A and B are shown apart, each in its own frame.
Chain A
Amino acid sequence: QKEVEQNSGPLSVPEGAIASLNCTYSDRGSQSFFWYRQYSGKSPELIMFIYSNGDKEDGRFTAQLNKASQYVSLLIRDSQPSDSATYLCAVNPQAAGNKLTFGGGTRVLVKP
């Protein structure tokens, strides 16, 4: 079992709809969780992080964390073609110090 798992996609979403991305992790003691967006040929860009159970909203993005079920999700509201990218989930496992473990990413395609 991979430490951080994501569905590779592609997740096809109509413009204006909500894109829902999920990420599960294996280390129950993980402390902080990150979502990165990566456009093709570019570097990962941090868009959200969350460290406590519940929801965290930033503009059109909402991160949701459920530590008991060991998953973190990202919702993109009012999806735009510019949201088409690969979204990487990253987790800071308890014993990893300052290191992050990344999932393989979910590719999102927003169709006009």
Chain B
Amino acid sequence: DAGITQSPRHKVTETGTPVTLRCHQTENHRYMYWYRQDPGHGLRLIHYSYGVKDTDKGEVSDGYSVSRSKTEDFLLTLESATSSQTSVYFCAISEVLSGSYNEQFFGPGTRLTVL
């Protein structure tokens, strides 16, 4: 998994509760991404980061916030979880170097169920 861990790996929570998912990398890559994967929708970008404290929205950012205070950690927060946020969440990392083409490498995923 290219030195990427996600925690927790599984979580069940109730509607209305806050939830924070953590992505940790040991590769010192500049770019980090949060995706959700749902049947029929594929992988969709929630938020991404292009450096410490530098983040931007993806295509499905409503209801989610992120923070990146250190290069190695990228946090995804659901302020008030809803059943529509039940999904599998993947973190990815990439680095843009001479000769690279933004290959993204994925963490193991977090399965979140909101009851």
Q: Residues of A with Cβ closer than 8 Å to B?
A: 31-32, 34, 36, 42-46, 49, 51, 88, 90, 92, 97-100, 102-105
Contacts and interface: CB of A to CB of B under 8 A. Distances in A.
B104 interface: yes
Interface of B: 1, 31, 33, 40-45, 48, 50, 58, 90, 94, 96, 101-109
Given A43-B106, A98-B48, A99-B48, 4 more contacts: A34-B104, A43-B107, A102-B43, A103-B42
B102 A32 contact: yes
Contacts of B106: 36, 43-45
A100 B102 contact: yes
14 contacts: A34-B104, A36-B106, A43-B1, A43-B106, A43-B107, A43-B109, A44-B106, A49-B103, A90-B43, A98-B102, A100-B45, A100-B102, A102-B42, A102-B44
Given A99-B45, A99-B58, A32 B96 contact: no
Q: Which 8 A-B pairs have the closest CB atoms?
A: A32-B101, A104-B42, A102-B43, A43-B106, A44-B106, A98-B102, A102-B42, A43-B109
Contacts of B50: 97-98
Nearest to A2: B42
Contacts of A92: 101-102
A67 to B, nearest CB: 14
Contact of B40 (A32, A88, A103, A104): A104
B103 A34 contact: yes
A95 to B, nearest CB: 13
Nearest to B39: A104
